[in-house]
Amino acid sequence: MDQESTRRRLLGTAGTGVIGLTAGCVGRFTDSDGNESDPTGGNESVGDEDDSASGSETETDANEGASGSEDGDDEDDEAESAPDIDGGAVVFVYDDGPIEDYEQAFPIHQEFDAPATVGIVTEWIGREDFNGTDWMAVDHLEELADTGWEISSHTTAHTALGAFELVEDAAPEDTRIYPEQRNHGFHHGYDVEITDGDERVRRTVVGSDTDDVGGYLEFDEPLETSFAAGETVERYPEDVMREFLGESKRELEALGFEVDTLLAPYDVVDERTIDIAREYYDGISNVYPGSMSNDPATFDPFETNRDYFVEFTTREEVQAELDRIAEEEALGILGAHTFKEEVTTERIRETLEWVEERDLEVVTFREAIAATDALA
């Protein structure tokens, strides 16, 4: 993704700079409750159910939240049990946790004895006909985990974790700002902070829409400070970020799942996201969208490449990518939203057949991290 110079400059001043942002998360609709949503990127919900999250200060012990083991014996055991990915391997990472993961993807993967990783939005577990989709319940997740699938965090509410640059100047009396992407308007009731690296203002999002200027976020009170377009970003405050990341992990672990990794909603990741996520997770599976291929010898689980294997691509492109992975004995990370019409059982089976023809190992993201650690 092309990053403008202003965004790179803010990376040093305000701790921002979006790394991953793809077309996989656009296209909104309004559900039966009048809440704005994003079906293409994972049925992004916007409702009053999250209002209590506004301004919540969550104190988190970084050591307690970190998932990495400090016991040398445990690390040795993990290295001994790591899968052999010599010759190349792929990871399938499915987004959001719709029932189609269980009803469509799971049976096909079972045919090939191939595990996968599923990114789960904790607030959506077990919800029926929510934004036109049914979501996997705990018993579905338990069956997946029992057969070797990995349960990964996809945050508590599928919220974009990166920062977005303002494209219009903001005056002190304004209650609206115009960011380059309106993802943070899909959830009302959460606080965002607006900062140019020097000034910092925290406001609660109470609305979001588009007008003759563009897409905007609406706040509960004026900014009381001027901010310049191109020099300012809006993002979630650190305590809200920790809620999205830490609570998701804790809730999934309370259900009995081992949770070591994160799938970032909307493929949106920046350096600040990575810094916070490191306290809870061993890796993020979709930091750089647009390519499947990762070098196992230099693999960094916080600098991952992932691409979709049905959406936004062609069969020819996917086969060419898999050829490259096989030739280079690389590690491929593939993604899909199984609730999408084009992600059919036939396409999943076809892709697994291509993987099998190239003699590529299929592993979970957790196993990929362990395997590449063993190579170091």
Are 261 and 364 within 8 A, CB to CB? no
Vertex 307 angle, CA 257 and 331, to 5°:
70
The domain made up of 86-158+240-375 has a fold known as TIM Barrel (3.20.20)
Indicate the DSSP class of residue 130.
Answer: B
Q: Which amino acid is located at 237 in the chain? A: P
Residue-wise pLDDT for 194-241, tens only, equals 999 999 999 999 999 999 999 999 999 999 999 999 999 999 999 999
Instruction: DSSP for 152-168, please give it.
Output: EE--SS----S-EEBSS
| Residue 196 token pair | 């140019």
| Domain chopping of the chain, boundaries | 5-55+161-236, 86-158+240-375
Residue-wise pLDDT for 90-104, tens only, equals 999 999 999 999 999
Consecutive H or E run containing 15: none
Question: pTM of the entire structure?
Answer: 0.83
Indicate the DSSP class of residue 39.
Answer: T
- Give the other-Cβ count within 10 Å of 363's Cβ: 26
Give the mean model confidence (pLDDT) for residues 245-274: 97
Give the mean model confidence (pLDDT) for residues 309-329: 97
Q: Which amino acid is located at 46 in the chain? A: V
For the four alpha carbons of 309, 315, 317 and 321, in that order, the dihedral sign comes to positive
Closest by Cα among 237, 307, 234 to 267: 307
List, in sequence order, every residue forming a beta bridge with 308; answer none if it has no partner.
335
SS3 state at 117 = strand
Distance in Å from the first CA to the final CA of the chain: 29
